[in-house]
A = this chain, B = another copy of it.
Amino acid sequence: MERIPILRMGGLLLVTIQVDMHDRLAMTLQDDLTERIVRDRAKGVLIDISALDLVDSFIGRMISNTAAMARVLDAQTVVVGMQPAVAITLVELGLTLHGVKTALNVEKGMALLGKTNF
């Protein structure tokens, strides 16, 4: 598969990361997502990482960068479904996802982004 699908739900975009990210896939996701935020006038982005058992600094930076890009396009990003081991690794790597909101699952993430957006 070449791309990670971006699903639109009302004013929100949902991305589920299931595969190991490599450079090109991450770049494609960032391109696609920024384009979709503008095209769909999205106010929020949910990134589900519940399928990730582990993260490295590349993924951590990719999430931070994606959130920063969304923010300058006036969309809030919420990372949902983080596994405990991933949280531990991120902090150990010094990646505290500054400025990125997190929620336990998609439902709570949608609530955080405000039901009015949905």
List A residues at the B interface (Cβ < 8 Å): 1-5, 7-10, 14, 16, 18-20, 48, 50-53, 81, 105-107, 110
Contacts and interface: CB of A to CB of B under 8 A. Distances in A.
A1 B18 contact: yes
A48 B5 contact: yes
A1 B106 contact: no
Contacts of A8: 105-107
Nearest to A16: B16
A107 B20 contact: no
A107 B11 CA distance: 11
Contacts of A106: 7-9, 14
B107 A10 contact: yes
Q: Lowest 10 CB-CB distances: which A-B pairs, in order?
A: A5-B51, A7-B106, A5-B50, A16-B16, A18-B18, A1-B51, A1-B18, A9-B106, A19-B19, A5-B16
Contacts of A107: 8-10
Contacts of A7: 14, 16, 48, 50, 81, 105-106
